Amino acid sequence: MTGLPSLMVAPNGARRSKSDHPALPVTLPEIVATARACADAGADGLHLHLRDAAGRHVLDAGLYREALAELGSAVPHMAVQITTEAVGLYSAPHQRLVALESGAGMVSAALREMVQDTPDATATDFYADCAARGIAVQHILYDPADFDLLARLLPDALLRDPSLQLIFVLGRYSHDQNSAPADLLPFLDRMKAMDLAPDWAVCAFGRGETACLIEAHRCGGKLRVGFENSLLHADGTIARDNAERVTALRLACG
């Protein structure tokens, strides 16, 4: 399976629009152009969200296949991970189907969403099916308590596999979107207590994004940066675009 890139950019997410920032990419050509600029700035991965003609979040296997083909041609050395985020619009069965049928080699999935109205055995079978197909699932953990759900759903062989991919979410979608480096410690403590050694990364919200990612880098984690989580540099100024955030983070991490 493809390992996590060291520096993944999440350029748009499911919620923000051009009213939040004019450089936020919405159409596929804009996403491709952003991917090129971010690759040039040093990002080696892209977290992919797509929008429909009205600019709304969409999970569609066919649209993903089209986007993956375009990105594979434009930025062949950039790993591309698709999202399965529901945003209140999609059911867990639809999310699982898109993950399996999109042709993506890397998928982001929230443990909490995969068990919505779903028996544990169905979610477990989905993760095993992804592994059998060579699809790398990055499990989203919003809280250290989600480690309990991870252990409940994953077969032990997958849980103990060093290629297990996790992302720790620091902060929340809220009005102030605060995050702080100290938010990382409980995740690391639980990971150590469970004797896990996964391939892990961090994303964080708001002005604290840079400080959180610097701390994750110091602790041996990988990084996800971009307008999905924050429009701001460490000094509180608004970034020109996603590529500028990539550059700023690379410089901050040395």
Token digits for 22? 């004019």
pLDDT at 172: 73
Nearest to 46 by CA among 15, 9, 99, 77: 9
Per the CB < 8 A criterion, the answer to whether 87 and 57 are in contact is: yes
- The DSSP line for 30-49 is HHHHHHHHHHHHT--EEEE-
Per the CB < 8 A criterion, the answer to whether 210 and 176 are in contact is: no
In this structure, is residue 234 part of a structural domain? Answer: yes
What CATH number corresponds to the domain at position 55? 3.20.20.70
In this structure, is residue 1 part of a structural domain? Answer: no
Instruction: Report the alpha-carbon distance of residue 243 to residue 246 in Å, rounded.
Output: 5
Cα 166–Cα 128–Cα 200 angle in degrees, nearest 5: 10
pLDDT 10s digits, 153-199? 999 999 999 999 999 999 875 555 689 999 999 999 999 999 999 99
In this structure, is residue 187 part of a structural domain? Answer: yes
Alpha helices in the chain (DSSP H): 28-41, 61-74, 92-101, 111-114, 120-133, 146-153, 156-159, 185-193, 209-218, 242-253
Q: What's the number of domains the chain is made of?
A: 1
pTM of the model: 0.96
In this structure, is residue 225 part of a structural domain? Answer: yes
In this structure, is residue 144 part of a structural domain? Answer: yes
In this structure, is residue 83 part of a structural domain? Answer: yes
Whether the pLDDT of residue 140 is over 90: the answer is: yes
In this structure, is residue 2 part of a structural domain? Answer: no
All residues at 6 or more sequence positions from 122 whose CB lies less than 8 Å from its CB, including other chains: none
pLDDT 10s digits, 73-90? 999 999 999 999 999 999
Q: Which domain holds residue 207?
A: 7-253
pLDDT 10s digits, 222-248? 999 999 999 999 999 999 999 999 999
Torsion of CA 25, 45, 57, 208, to 10 degrees: -80
In this structure, is residue 106 part of a structural domain? Answer: yes
Token digits for 254? 């040395």
pLDDT 10s digits, 100-138? 999 999 999 999 999 999 999 999 999 999 999 999 999
All residues at 6 or more sequence positions from 29 whose CB lies less than 8 Å from its CB, including other chains: none
Which amino acid, residue 167?
I
End-to-end CA distance of the chain: 28
